[in-house]
Structure 1
Amino acid sequence: MEILSPTATAYPAEKATMSIRLDATLSDEVIQYTPFYYLANTEDVQMYNKGGYHPVHIGDILDGRFEVVHKLGSGGFGIVWLCRDTLLDKWRAVKIITADHSAKGTEEKIFSYLRDHCSPAELRKNHILLPLEQFSIVGPNGRHSCLVMPVLGSTVENWRMPKKDYEEQTHDDTRDVCGQIVDSMRFLHSHGICHGDFRPANILMEVEGIDDLDRDEILGLMGEPECYNVETVSGQPLTPRAPEYCVTSASEFWCETLTMKSIAIIDFGESFFTATPPISTGIPEIYAAPEVLLRGYGTLGSHSDIWSLACTLFEVRTGSPLFADVISGGFGDAINRFELFLGPLPPNIGGPKTQLDIKDSTIENEPQPDTPKLDEFAEDRACLIEGSGYSDIFEAVLGREQTRYLNLLTAAKTEAIKYRYPKEDVLGLADLLRKMLKYNPEERIGIDTVMSHPWVGKMRKGKAGTDSVDFTTRFTSAAVSSMFVFAAVATWILLNGLAKDTMN
């Protein structure tokens, strides 16, 4: 089905007709809009141009049926709207994909294959979420594919954020979710499909009971939509290419009371069949395998997903990204992290792929072919390992003593709990990560070997290991302030954020 309107069928017929006539005379000139510099959870307003987002307002009716009530999120390939299905009287998430990405039809090919070869029960069992329905919209910026999905909860990273690592329940919950994540990738790879953008942001928690809520109850959880007027830099009136206002996304924590302990894998916009790999994908650097970022590693494939899976398992298990630098970030810092954990890049590797448009890379800092590299991070690596009781950097980082500060931002007495992960857990996960994170794609273990690894086997049985969490000391008030300053300095020096303390 197609909706021929600059926004949606909520417009009166005479307004829609007028807007369609305007669409025919729209120029291809790129319109510059005043950006929303300080607004979180707002889409890139510059993408309201030809090939970009479809303009939508609260109250619009999509496909003659889905009433727009709130915004759930946005990304480079589209915007997800909370809608009320007026036909079935249910809540739905409708993702309107950008016109340029819709034209590629990547997701549709993957969806068609999975529908033809897998039953709905099989897909659900393996945590793969396909659209309930699909339709298209033709608007001022092009033709947009629209995916109708069940409403899901927060990303797995936001689900993980408030959990307390010193509690045994956190160990059980995170390892159970890690098991589901591994199952989902095994299923995709068994069908010759690579996700291409496998990371915590594309793993959502399922919710229950949402269709029992009426509009007021939903808005009571999400809050009323906050809308901000869109303006052109030139001061000229808006054309039909842009909405009158942008809507901030609902907080991901709106669904806390509805969240289940089961996941759903979403966003197949970068997915591909193993037999026909792309040159690269748009996965962020901190989850991207070397062959995605650098020349000289061969083609992309299931091995690229394995690297991303390793990063994801570490982050879900610990609550911290493995290769991220919270102070700066970017391509150069991701490479530095690789070398901190894995040693120098092989000497026969070329520079970054130009299609990734990596702006912080220069000729001087690109690895050059056949030039042996010094181990610039040997001292940092040794510093992290020294005194840890472990012999390997993965073990040292996982097994380090950590501190959780309680009541830090409240009037109550501040309390610090120091703890460590169980040794068996540390050794098992570190061993798995070492086997998954290899510069040479051919040296990485495959998903079947990941599934048979002891650490994965134990978590899939719902066990958190035989060791209990090691509680060492509790501190209060006066001691905490000096400890907190020391911890902050040590964090920055040692690991630029990887060894950061978790705050409540």
Structure 2
Amino acid sequence: MADGAPHPPEKVYLPDHDIEDIEEYRAGGYHPTVIGDVFHNGRYEVVHKLGSGGYSTTWLARDKDTEHYVALKIPRASEASKSTEADILRLLSDSASGHKGQRFIPRLLDEFAFDGPNGRHICLVQEAGVCSIARSKEDAANFMFPVETARSIAAQLILGFSYLHSRGTFTCETCSSNYGPSLDHLTPDDLHSRYGLCKSPVRRVDGADVAPHAPTYVKITDYGTSVIAAANEPFPKLYTPTLYLPPEAFFHEPATLAADVWTLGVNLYEILGERPLFETFVCDPDDVIWEMINTLGRPPQRWWDKWAARGEVFEDDGSWKTPSLGSNRVYTPAFRRLHQRMWDMGRGETPETCEWDVEGGEMRALEDMLRGMMAFEPKERLTTEDLVKSEYMVKWALPAWERQLSRQGESASECVSGTSD
């Protein structure tokens, strides 16, 4: 390395998987939170971990004043003067809105600042829930929601995103909404028994004590992010996992609100069926682009020309290239378009065995909606307002949600979450 060039920071902690970056437990970084910590003059006691991300960690806490569980979102200290999340949550919590989707957005209940060994943190207190859609789906016997439940979840997500976009809010993140009943009847021991308390010890490379900057252990989970943007205002950075990214992100074009619609479409396919829409062994960008083309057809010419790995699969005229023995990539020379993937959702492999009300047109309506959500050109995608008015929403998803409300009571079954970015 040339003299005067900046040196990368030395690694302090031994790496671990499925947790926040331990190297961020330093001055300006995460607060070293552990189960049992109390905040805000003893009002909030940490009982479990909800998630973590590059921006913050989120914790389930018991509010001793109200005897309810809440989510404590603790951003890195370096974000204290930069974060606009509290402003966004206050905007979304505006009680004057009559939008149906507002009920699916976690309210900002409280906020406070505190000083820790890594600096000053601004803590956000929100409504809490721990039952994620993805986790619930994994726990199902056949890895699928019942049809009626899937329809209701689809309606709630569409309404929630419609409300976000109506307030100019852009998630920049995969759909990670939490969905579940109130936790207030559970004791901390019940929570640990039901949701697990998996601890991973934090260790320094040099064997020294990790305190005070890092916790003695971390808990394993995951979470997400959002910003305010005008409908046509680009936002340069997305935090969405590779399989859910819109195509413009792979070709380094600015994202707009239409990026949310693409990501929501990919998520809806997965929620309504058994398998992910795009399936790769590794989340390699070229493999994901290939899956997009396999599903939706050839992308716009400007992206086709920019795709460096195109030559490994296609001739210049777009025809299949004969696979070479030395190629690192293996592609099946056949397309599996979106229409075929509708029958591969796990609801039935053929029209004869599919249970999705084929004669009434539900699968066709769903396919039309997904195709509109995943148009390659962002300007050609459906808006969230279009989704609320779509045939699938009006005839199948929304009625399922309304039937759920009638069974459980008008105020029942709200989507609540404590999310991290």
Instruction: Give me the TM-score of the superposition, normalised by structure 2.
Output: 0.77
* Deviation at residue 279 of structure 1 after TM alignment: 1.3
Partner residue in 2 for 1:490: none
Please show how residues 315-330 of structure 1 align to structure 2 within 5 Å: 315-325=270-280, 327-330=281-284
Are 1:126 and 1:183, in contact at CA under 8 Å, matched by a contact in 2? Answer: no
Q: 1:53 to 1:380 in 2, by over 3 A?
A: same
Q: Is the CA contact 1:172–1:463 (under 8 Å) kept in the aligned structure 2?
A: yes
Question: Shift in Å at residue 435 of structure 1?
Answer: 1.6
Counterpart code for 2:373: M
Which residue, out of 180, 186, 189, partners 2:156? 180
Q: CA deviation at 1:31?
A: 4.8
Mark the runs of 5 or more structure 1 residues left unpaired by the alignment.
1-27, 253-265, 353-362, 385-392, 405-417, 465-504
Shift of 1:350: 8.7
2:12 alignment partner, one of 29, 32, 50: 32
Of the candidates 385, 390, 396, which is equivalent to residue 459 of structure 1? 396
Tell me what 1:83 maps to: 61
Could you tell me how far apart the structure 2 residues matched to 1:184 and 1:152 are? 16
Task: Judge conservation of contact 1:286–1:334 (CA < 8 Å) in 2.
Answer: yes
What are the Cα deviations for residues 217-238 of structure 1, in whole angstroms up to 9, with x where unaligned?
Answer: 3334334x44343221122333
Q: In the alignment, is residue 395 of structure 1 matched against residue 339 of structure 2?
A: yes
Q: Which whole-Å deviations, capped at 9, do the CAs of 1:111-143 have from their partners, x for residues lacking one?
A: 23234x444875775411122111223323333
Quick one: which amino acid aligns to residue 365 of structure 2?
Answer: G
- Say if 1:319 and 1:270 are closer, same or farther in 2 by CA, change over 3 A: farther
Q: Which residue of 2 aligns with 1:482?
A: none
Change (3 A) 1:375 1:45: farther
Counterpart of 2:217 in structure 1 is 245
Aligned to 2:4: none
> Which of 179, 182, 206 is the equivalent residue of 2:180?
206
1:434-445 equivalent positions in 2, closer than 5 A: 434-445=371-382
Write the deviation string for residues 404-441 of structure 1: whole angstroms up to 9, x where unpaired: 9xxxxxxxxxxxxx953433332221121222212211
Instruction: Tell me: CA distance 1:106–1:331, structure 2 relative to 1, closer, same or farther (3 Å).
Output: farther
Q: Which runs of 5+ in 2 are unaligned?
A: 1-7, 323-330, 402-421
Over 3 Å counting, the alpha-carbon distance change for 1:271 and 1:330 in structure 2 is farther
Structure 2 CA distance, aligned partners of 1:381 and 1:397? 17
Which amino acid in the other structure matches residue 152 of structure 2?
D
| Count of matched residue positions in the alignment of Structure 1 and Structure 2 | 376
Deviation at 1:45, TM superposition (A): 1.8
Counterpart AA for 2:86:
E
Kindly indicate whether the alpha-carbon contact (under 8 Å) linking 2:92 and 2:102 is maintained by their aligned counterparts in 1: no
Query: Could you tell me which residue of structure 2 aligns to residue 99 of structure 1?
Result: 77
* Counterpart pick for 1:293 among 250, 253, 256: 250
| Distance change (3 Å), C-alpha of 1:340 and 1:275 | closer
Contact (CA 8 Å) 1:34, 1:232: kept in 2 or not? yes
Equivalent in the alignment of 2:204 = 232
CA drift at 1:56: 1.5
**Letter paired with 2:265:** A
Deviation at 1:166, TM superposition (A): 11
Secondary structure (helix, strand or coil) at the match of 2:399 reads coil
Pairwise CA RMSD:
3.5
1:99–1:271 distance in 2 versus 1, CA, 3 Å: farther
* 2:330 equivalent to 1:344: no
Extract structure 1 runs of 4+ deviating beyond 6 A.
none
Please say if 1:450 is aligned against 2:405: no
**Aligned partners of 1:36 and 1:401: how far apart in 2?**
34
Whether the 8 Å CA contact 1:91–1:150 is kept in 2: the answer is: yes
Matched-pair identity in %: 25
Cα gap change, 1:272/1:155 in structure 2, threshold over 3 Å: closer, same or farther? farther
The aligned counterpart of 1:62 is 39
* Counterpart-to-counterpart distance in 1, 2:26 and 2:79: 13
